[in-house]
Structure 1
Amino acid sequence: MASTHVNPTRMELTKLKKKLKTAVRGHKLLKDKRDELMRQFLELIRETKELRAKVEKGIQDANKNFVLARAGMEDEAMNVALMAPRQEVSLKSGVKNVMSVEIPTFEYQTRTPDANDIYCYGYAFTSSDLDTAVKSLADVLPEMLRLAEIEKSCQLMASEIEKTRRRVNALEHVMIPDMQTKIKYIVMKLDENERSSQIRLMKVKDMMLEEAHHYKERMMNEAVSS
């Protein structure tokens, strides 16, 4: 099959050997990249599992406290208490390059650093359960952002791992064996041509020796007859 796709010359052999060397080096680099991506991916998966448990527990606790607060307060009082928030949160997104994968980064900043600014109501007409619920949501916000960040990072890294794995397999099972087969074919053809040339040279030499021998015999015969 290789003979139909390659010209068996020394120039082609040199070109294929260079390509093979580059492919082998690229294969090693891609394998290293895949292994490192897998290592970091598994670390993020473990962190995701722990963070998700914390976030779900925090949200569950906040919901319980809101239910308790609503049970102890009038609906109108609850709506008025939460109508005008005092604190604001701004989110800044960026990217970080990890093994040629751009993963997102999230940073948040509150309008004021005062922890009490999360309470947008007075304490006289509200339940303490409402305070606890608001505090629970404020505490879980950083973990929610971190969870969103690493979950998106996991998606992007999983996609890159799959691409890298396909490239590694293509090099390992298709391109490198194909080039090795072509190189083997060219070497075999060159050796065959060299052997044929040697045989032709030997035949030409034998013919020349035989011709010289006959010529010498004729000369001797002519000398004897004269």
Structure 2
Amino acid sequence: MAFRAVGRVAPTKGFLIKLRKRVEFFKMGAETLEMKRDKLIKELSALQGRLIERKELDKEMMEVYEQLKVAYAIAGVEEMRKAALLSQPFLVKVKTTSLMGVEIPEAQIVQKGFKPSPSIQAPLISALDGLQRMMDRLIDVVMLEAALERLAIEVADTMRRVNTLRKVIIPEHERAIKYIEERLEEESLEDFLRIKKYRMLKRGV
């Protein structure tokens, strides 16, 4: 007889022992995955609490935009061009750390895009400093959202694997074990009756 999650079942004591060991292994695997799922959900919940940073960033972006408009009105086009010439590439180094097997990205700013200069007017320096701070926050939020996405995917995948073990693989193996036990019990009873009949015939009953 065949069970989809087990394969072909041989009603023997050896195969029964093999299936029992396999079920124990699957149960241990399910428990380990459940522990992983719970820890991932805890981490996910903690990070979700930081999503308010996205709203704060939106507000900060509007404030920086207003600062730049004021600075442009005060300093003029030439001053803005001068600031642009003093700019440099904004460089970010991204690395990953492992959290329960999930690769979480982390960013480190290695070079900022603006160097303050005494030749630039104060309102423009203030606006550009605000822009720099906003970029720092933006990178943090991007890393946060990337971490949330990866953790959410891993949680869903772990839950799917747990459900497959708990609702399909383990029950199928337990049904196969029950089937083999019943077959072995039937064979044992048949052997007992056969031996009993043989002894009775031998005694001439």
Percent identity for Structure 1 against Structure 2: 26
- When the two structures are superposed, what TM-score results if normalisation uses the length of structure 2? 0.89
Q: How far does residue 2 in structure 1 lie from its aligned partner after superposition?
A: 4.9
Distance, in Å, in 2 between the alignment partners of 1:61 and 1:132 is: 12
Distance, in Å, in 1 between the alignment partners of 2:42 and 2:132 is: 32
My pick for the range that moved more, 89-98 or 60-69, is: 89-98
My pick for the range that moved more, 141-150 or 169-178, is: 141-150
In the other structure, the counterpart of 2:134 is 140
Distance, in Å, in 2 between the alignment partners of 1:7 and 1:195 is: 18
Aligned pair count reads 201
In the other structure, the counterpart of 2:65 is 63
Q: What whole-Å deviation, never above 9, does each CA across 1:136-178 have from its counterpart, x for those lacking one?
A: 1222333222212121111111111111111111101110000
Match of 2:34 among 23, 31, 35: 31
Secondary structure in 2 matching 1:119: coil
Unaligned 5+ segments in structure 1 are 112-116, 212-226
In the other structure, the counterpart of 1:224 is none
Secondary structure in 1 matching 2:170: helix
Asked if 2 retains the 8 angstrom alpha-carbon contact of 1:90 and 1:109, the reply is yes
1:109 aligns with 2:106: no
In the other structure, the counterpart of 1:12 is 15
In the other structure, the counterpart of 1:177 is 171
In the other structure, the counterpart of 1:216 is none
Asked if 2 retains the 8 angstrom alpha-carbon contact of 1:62 and 1:132, the reply is no
Unaligned 5+ segments in structure 2 are none
Distance, in Å, in 1 between the alignment partners of 2:128 and 2:86 is: 14
Letter in 1 for 2:46: E
In the other structure, the counterpart of 1:41 is 44
Q: How far does residue 10 in structure 1 lie from its aligned partner after superposition?
A: 0.6
Q: How far does residue 89 in structure 1 lie from its aligned partner after superposition?
A: 4.7
Letter in 1 for 2:119: G
Where in structure 2 are the equivalents of 1:64-213 lying within 5 Å? 64-85=66-87, 89-110=90-111, 118-120=115-117, 122-123=119-120, 126=121, 128-210=122-204
Asked if 1 retains the 8 angstrom alpha-carbon contact of 2:54 and 2:141, the reply is yes
Which structure's CA Rg is the greater one? Answer: 1
1:50 aligns with 2:43: no
Q: How far does residue 122 in structure 1 lie from its aligned partner after superposition?
A: 1.4
Q: What whole-Å deviation, never above 9, does each CA across 1:158-203 have from its counterpart, x for those lacking one?
A: 1111111111111011100000000000000000100111111111
Distance, in Å, in 2 between the alignment partners of 1:121 and 1:136 is: 17
Letter in 2 for 1:210: G
CA 1:187–1:206: 2 relative to 1, 3 Å: same
Q: How far does residue 51 in structure 1 lie from its aligned partner after superposition?
A: 1.9
- When the two structures are superposed, what TM-score results if normalisation uses the length of structure 1? 0.81
Distance, in Å, in 2 between the alignment partners of 1:197 and 1:11 is: 18
